């Protein structure tokens, strides 16, 4: 008898459960009340359980009914997702969109655009990861992602189209207990003084910037492959370095980190690096990728700070 279950019966069950009565459910799904009552009675007969207690003025779900209601909702959700996926395939919508984001860029800024994508194409899968320096561009060039976000001016190639997103403030910091933060004479830090202390440097995992250093002033360096690792080591007081302002704002506010005024690394030790949305010129973005791109550009160009 279970094979005779229909999606319509499950939708009627959900409607009655959510509206609280057969009459209200009938209004929601544009049926007469008798049709709703018949659908529920047939479903109960097929399942062999009572779904609603009808002894009171309003039908009350039985424990069995509440348990099966969760299954009904799950089935309907999967069916709706299948329909959305089929509709998307018919429209040429991608099965998935992949995005590689520079570790300097605040991933939280993507939330608005990702929600727009989810609302427009709920069946499209999203693959998102962060990577440092040249890796986002390398992944895009090699076809391992649909879109990339790069930070800085070093990562440009003729076959890659860039669109400016927002500036990323990049600040020089050290732990509150580090000697550079406890100097007797506050103010600008001379590069010679910086050179006496270990610098924590983010290392490129690709050959894109092989042999190049950006903002390295200390002869003694520890090189790491992840922004989170660099952040943790600086906060622990192992060395000094540069980090995006959005990542250290709370540490600065709580006094765990201190900003260093290093003129050689920007005004007051701060420089703004531009973030760019990148995609390949030889590949047309699909509908889902276009929605993601439009949402990102609209959100960031609408005055929302990238480090907020």
Average pLDDT on 87-103 reads 78
Give 100's pLDDT tier (boundaries 50, 70, 90): very high
pLDDT recorded at residue 212: 59
Closest among 161, 146, 128 to 287, alpha carbons compared: 146
Domain 96-166+274-300 CATH superfamily: Periplasmic binding protein-like II (3.40.190.10)
User: In this model, does residue 174 exceed pLDDT 70?
Assistant: yes
Query: How many other C-beta atoms lie within 10 A of the C-beta of residue 19?
Result: 16
Higher confidence at residue 186 or residue 41? 41
Q: Domain map of the chain by residue range? A: 2-90, 96-166+274-300, 168-271
Would you state the torsion angle of the CA atoms of residues 258, 224, 149, 139, taken in this order, to the nearest 10 degrees?
180
Question: Predicted confidence band at 225 (pLDDT cuts at 50, 70, 90)?
Answer: confident
Contact 68, 44 (CB under 8 A): no
pLDDT score of 155 more than 90:
no
Q: Look at the alpha carbons of 152, 157, 158, 160 in this order and tell me if their dihedral is positive or negative.
A: negative
Residue found under tokens 């609408």: 302
| Topology alike, domains 2-90 and 96-166+274-300 | no
Kindly indicate the confidence band of residue 233, based on its pLDDT and cuts at 50, 70 and 90. very high
Quick check: 128 pLDDT over 90?
A: yes
Average pLDDT value for the chain = 84
Number of residues assigned to the chain: 308
DSSP state of 99: E
Q: 3-state class of 302 per DSSP?
A: coil
- Domain 168-271: assigned CATH number: 3.40.190.290
Q: Is the dihedral of CA 144, 165, 173, 220 positive or negative?
A: positive
d(CA 285, CA 129): 19
DSSP state of 203: P
- Return the pLDDT at 193: 86
**What is the DSSP secondary-structure string of 207-236?**
STTTT--SS---SSEEEES-HHHHHHHHHT
Q: Are 274 and 83 in contact (CB under 8 A)?
A: no
* CATH number for the domain whose boundaries are 2-90: 1.10.10.10
Give the model's confidence band at 207: pLDDT under 50 very low, under 70 low, under 90 confident, else very high.
low
Q: What is the 3-state secondary structure (H, E, C) of 9-38?
A: HHHHHHHHHHHCCHHHHHHHHCCCHHHHHH
């Amino acid at each position: 008898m279970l094979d005779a279950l229909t999606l319509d019966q499950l939708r009627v069950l959900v409607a009655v459960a959510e509206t609280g009565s057969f009459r209200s459910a009938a209004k929601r799904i544009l049926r007469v009340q008798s049709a709703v009552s018949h659908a529920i009675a047939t479903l109960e007969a097929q399942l062999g359980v009572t779904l609603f207690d009808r002894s009171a003025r309003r039908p009350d779900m039985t424990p069995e009914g509440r348990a099966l209601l969760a299954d009904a909702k799950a089935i309907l959700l999967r069916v709706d997702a299948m329909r959305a996926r089929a509709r998307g395939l018919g429209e040429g919508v991608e099965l998935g969109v992949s995005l590689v984001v520079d570790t300097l860029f605040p991933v939280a800024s993507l939330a608005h655009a990702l929600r727009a994508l989810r609302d427009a194409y709920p069946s499209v899968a999203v693959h998102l990861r962060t990577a440092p320096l040249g890796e986002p561009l390398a992944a895009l060039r090699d076809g391992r992602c649909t879109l990339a976000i790069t930070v800085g001016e070093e990562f440009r190639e003729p076959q890659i189209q860039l669109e400016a997103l927002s500036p990323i403030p990049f600040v020089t910091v050290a732990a509150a207990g580090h000697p550079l933060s406890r100097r007797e004479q506050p103010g600008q830090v001379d590069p010679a003084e910086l050179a006496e202390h270990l610098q924590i440097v983010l290392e490129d995992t690709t050959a894109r910037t092989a042999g190049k250093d950006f903002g390295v002033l200390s002869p003694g360096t520890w090189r790491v492959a992840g922004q989170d690792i660099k952040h943790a080591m600086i906060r622990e007081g192992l060395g000094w370095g540069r980090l995006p302002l959005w990542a250290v704002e709370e540490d600065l506010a709580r006094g765990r980190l201190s900003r260093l005024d290093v003129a050689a690394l920007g005004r007051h030790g701060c420089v703004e690096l531009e973030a760019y949305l990148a995609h390949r010129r030889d590949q047309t973005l699909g509908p889902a990728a276009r929605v993601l791109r439009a949402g990102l550009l609209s959100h960031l160009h609408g005055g929302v700070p990238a480090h907020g």
